[in-house]
Amino acid sequence: MNWRWDLFFEAIPIVSKGLYMLIGLTFSCFAFALIFGFVWTLLKRIPIKPINWIVTWTMEFIRSTPPLIQLFFIFYALPTLPYIGETLTFSPFICGTIGLGLHFSTYISEVYRSGIESVDNGQWEAAKALNFSTAQKWTKVILPQALPPTIPMLGNYFIILFKEVPLAATIGVVEILHLANTFGSQHFRYLESLTIVALLFLIISYPSAILIRKLEEKMNRRFDKKEVIQESKGAVMNG
Amino acid sequence: MRGITVTINVLVLSAILAYIFAFIAGFCRLSNNFFIRKITAFYVEIFRGTSLIVQLFWFYYAIPMLFNINIGSGLMAGVLAISLNYGAYMSEIVRGSILSVAEGQSEAATALNMSRFQRMRLVILPQAIRMMLPEFGNYLIQVVKATSLVSLIGMTDILYHGNILRSSNLSMAPTVYLLLLVFYFILALPLIFLSRKMEDISKKGVASE
């Protein structure tokens, strides 16, 4: 055991500076993924077979290839493309947002889809019977029911995303892992600074995981209750 | 494209180890012993709470320094980090599926005078494993994606060679990375089909509530 507390305490303020960047990048990635997830879901609902097929496999491709290589592709490869390379040159932060955001948007779109599919068929029929337009049907009937149950799932993905964000250190986003590595190479000791990074992650993600679990229980109870009420009403009506 | 063997080595080793860890940890979480349960819970929460890439760096740089041991090459550190991480995730699935096998099944087994071990081996596990399969398939795809990270700790895997190729000729970057993506996709493709098939299998013949 050769642990040095002096280096540990020296590294804390330096490494935690990257925390803002880490959280900022997580939020921007998540916002990107939320919006793009909608786009995927919409594209997938186009009832033309070839398009549907292409969209499905594109999503599968993005989902099953490593986000690290996707980041490298966006950061290193896109700017060297002929003709359009100039416009596709981004800063590391934007690259991270697009790369990780795109990767996670495919997961998020599945969440949306499951939410939409969980809406009872009768609701669609009822909206149709009331002569709602398509836009009305979606905004007034389907989405208000489809989205709230997905919130805990989205929260889970948020935490997973948070844990993937250090990947952005590899393309030069200055967040905690990057700072820890720099600190380590300055002192030739990676032990303390990397431990701080691990601790910071634990401190943030563990309570948020508990929070999400609580939220999930609350949601489940709420929706169960609703169903019970509906069922009891149905029973009364039938009786 | 050298380095394929390294990638596949890491993949196979860490997948096998991850399953072993998952089962050990999953059973330990269900143990009657308070301490075993708590210690495994601690392990699972630590590895689920921190990021895989941080663990990878920690295993590679910090552990040898902390205990003054040489963990060997990057292979050891990479495989250990990946398998411990996904072992922790999958142990939750093991635990969840064992718990979700209906109570009546284990009561019936008790009524047939089976021992605790027989009960688990003959009645609970065959049903629980079916439930685990689709999730295991999904995590296997995650492991495939995670193997790309080992290039960051200096292993000469396929991404490492790709990076060298790119730095020797900058205009080749799009081809190189596209090839890498396609390679990983081809690696994951059979797993995607496999996990879909497993989903079908898992729907049959399980007594769950």
Smallest Cβ–Cβ distance between A80 and the set B68, B144, B170 belongs to B170
The residue type of A129 is A
Q: Are the beta carbons of B137 and B194 closer than 8 angstroms?
A: yes
B167 to chain A: closest CA residue: A76
B158 to chain A: closest CA residue: A69
Q: Quick one: average pLDDT of A81-96?
A: 76
Nearest CA-CA distance, residue A128 and chain B, Å: 34
Chain B CB within 8 Å of residue A100 CB: no
Q: How confident is the model at residue B205 (pLDDT cuts 50, 70, 90)?
A: low
* Main-chain phi, psi angles of A121, to 5 degrees: -60, -35
For chain A, helix (H) and strand (E) counts, in that order, are 11, 0
**Which residue's entry shows tokens 């059973």?**
B27
HSE value, Cβ hemisphere, 13 Å, CA-based, for A100:
28
* Main-chain phi, psi angles of A219, to 5 degrees: -60, -45
Q: Quick one: average pLDDT of B100-109?
A: 81
Chain A CB within 8 Å of residue B53 CB: yes
B57 to chain A: closest CA residue: A194
Smallest Cβ–Cβ distance between B50 and the set A66, A77, A202 belongs to A202
**Hey, are the CB atoms on A163 and B149 less than 8 Å from each other?**
no
Chain B CB within 8 Å of residue A160 CB: no
**Hey, are the CB atoms on A3 and B66 less than 8 Å from each other?**
yes
* Main-chain phi, psi angles of B155, to 5 degrees: -85, 145
- Indicate the fold that domain B4-207 takes in CATH: MetI-like fold (1.10.3720)
A207 to chain B: closest CA residue: B49
Q: Quick one: average pLDDT of A101-118?
A: 89
ipTM of the complex: 0.81
- Which residues does residue B58 pair with via DSSP β-bridges, in sequence order? none
Residue B101 DSSP code:
B
Predicted pLDDT at B73: 66
Most confident of B52-56, B77-81, B85-89, B120-124: B85-89
Q: Where are the domains of chain B?
A: 4-207
Q: Which two tokens stand for residue B79?
A: 């495989």
Q: pLDDT tens digit string along A13-35?
A: 777 778 888 888 899 999 999 99
Q: How confident is the model at residue A105 (pLDDT cuts 50, 70, 90)?
A: very high
Cβ neighbours of residue A95 closer than 8 Å, sequence gap 6 or more: A71, A74, A75, A168, A171
Q: Which two tokens stand for residue A46?
A: 């186009």
Predicted pLDDT at A104: 92
What span, in angstroms and rounded, lies between the C-alpha atoms of A182 and B61?
13
Q: How confident is the model at residue A238 (pLDDT cuts 50, 70, 90)?
A: very low
Predicted pLDDT at A32: 92
Please, what are the domains in chain A?
A: 19-173 (1.10.3720.10)
* Cα angle for residues A230, A234, A237 (degrees, 5° grid): 140
Q: Are the beta carbons of B88 and B43 closer than 8 angstroms?
A: yes
**Hey, are the CB atoms on A65 and B51 less than 8 Å from each other?**
no
Cβ neighbours of residue A187 closer than 8 Å, sequence gap 6 or more: A7
Predicted pLDDT at A30: 92
Taking 50 as the threshold, does the pLDDT of residue A233 lie above it? no
